[in-house]
Each structure stands twice: as C-alpha cells, then as structure tokens.
C-alpha cells in the first residue's frame, strides 16, 4: 500500500503548518530560556539566597507561560487538556518552591522532584498525542528522563548538604531536547511555507505504509 498524497492530505498538511511553526518557535524559546536559567542557577547554587530562590520560582512560572502560549497557538490541532494540567502543576510547583526555600535545599529538592515526575508524565503524554506533527521523539525521551530525574532529586534530598547544582543540569538537558525537537520541526517545514507530508523523507526517500524506503519516482512530492 502506497503513501501517495491526495487533496485531503494536502489540506491537512496546510492546516498543520501554522501549528508546526508556532510549536517550533516555542521550542526554540524554551531552549534559550533553559540554557540561560541553568547558567544563572549554577552561579548561585551554592546556597539558598535571594537570587537562587527567585530563579527557582521563575522556572515553573515560565513553564506556565509557555503552556499558555502553546494553548493559544494550537487552535484545534493539538490536545489542550494536558497543557492545562501542566499549567496547574507548574503553578503549584512555584508556590511550593517558594515555601520550601524557607526550610532549606532538601525540601526544595523534594518539591522539585515531585514536580519533575508529574510534569514528565504529562510531557510524555502530550508528546505521544502530538507524534504525527513530527519532532516529538525527543519530547518523549525528555518526559521519561524528567520522571527519572525527579526520583533522583527526592533521593538526594536525604543528604542535608545536597546542592542545587543538579537542577541546573536538569534544565540544561531539557533545553537540549527542546532544541532537537525545534530542529526536527524546522526540517518538516517546506521552503514555500508548507509542510512535508508524513511518509516523505527529504532527500528523495519516501517510506510507504508497509515499510521500507523507496527511491523517488512515481509520485514524488514537489513543493509548489
């Protein structure tokens, strides 16, 4: 069975293009923020001080903002319910981190760990639901790693001298996954602003529904 393109497919591709571009831009922004935040936290992570506490609270608040932008730009093309859950979790995390900061780094790690586990599961779910948009395998991997990292933060909280530095690494790694997904989405967008249809791999190879790659030929898709 071939994966040739008919008018219905083309309409779907065209409708998905603004969604894909908005998601790509959001991923680039999240990468830039994560790297900047990780660098700033690494400089202030030795103790809980006004700067590090502010950074701890800002991170989940940025997550709330990103989810809100995601919802506004998604239209009807992407599931919204998991994003609302993400907003609620991140808002609770910001409040919890502000409170935990008054008790010490171990409590901060516990709150962050619980949030990382819950947020990772939601991110994994959203990425699976969006898989057809492309560029989501990195988000699936990121969600799984977030849940594992959250567990490690809770375990590290047993050490009274635990540092905040692991949180910087967590954010930086998450940023890299956002960058990978953004690049993957970028390659899915055609030079004319359209979107390469599913089943087509740029460079002349196409994958049929039943499996192996086939050389370009019979019904090669050409951008207008």
- Alpha-carbon gap, residue 11 to 197, rounded angstroms: 10
- DSSP E strand boundaries for the chain: 200-201, 205-207, 213-215
What tokens appear for 62 in the block? 């940025």
**Residues 6 or more apart in contact with residue 187 via CB below 8 angstroms:** 196, 202
Q: What span, in angstroms and rounded, lies between the C-alpha atoms of 171 and 158?
A: 21
**Going residue by residue through the chain (224 aa), what tens digit of pLDDT does each one get?**
433 323 333 444 444 466 778 888 998 999 999 999 999 999 988 889 999 999 999 999 999 999 999 888 766 556 678 889 989 999 999 999 999 999 999 999 999 999 999 999 988 888 787 777 665 787 888 888 999 999 999 999 998 888 899 999 999 999 998 898 889 887 766 444 444 444 444 443 333 334 444 444 434 444 44
**How many Å apart are CA 220 and CA 224, to the nearest integer?**
12
pTM beyond 0.85: the answer is: no
């Amino acid at each position: 069975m071939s994966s040739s393109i008919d008018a219905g497919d083309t309409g779907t591709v065209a409708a998905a293009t603004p969604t894909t571009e908005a998601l790509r831009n959001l991923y680039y922004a999240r990468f830039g923020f994560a790297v900047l935040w990780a660098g700033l936290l690494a400089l202030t992570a030795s103790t809980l001080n006004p700067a590090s506490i502010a950074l701890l609270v800002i991170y989940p608040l940025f997550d709330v903002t990103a989810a809100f932008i995601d919802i506004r730009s998604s239209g009807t093309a992407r599931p919204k319910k998991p994003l609302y859950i993400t907003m609620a979790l991140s808002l609770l995390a910001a409040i919890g981190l502000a409170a935990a900061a008054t008790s010490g780094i171990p409590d901060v790690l516990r709150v962050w760990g619980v949030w990382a586990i819950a947020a990772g599961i939601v991110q994994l779910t959203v990425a699976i639901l969006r898989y057809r948009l492309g560029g989501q395998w990195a988000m699936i991997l990121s969600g799984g790693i977030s849940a594992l990292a959250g567990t490690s933060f809770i375990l590290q909280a047993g050490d009274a001298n635990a540092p905040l530095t692991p949180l910087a690494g967590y954010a930086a790694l998450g940023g890299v996954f956002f960058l990978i997904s953004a690049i993957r989405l970028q390659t899915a967008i055609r030079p004319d602003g359209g979107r390469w249809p599913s089943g087509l791999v740029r460079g002349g190879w196409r994958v049929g529904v039943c499996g192996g790659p086939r050389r370009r030929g019979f019904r090669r898709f050409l951008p207008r």
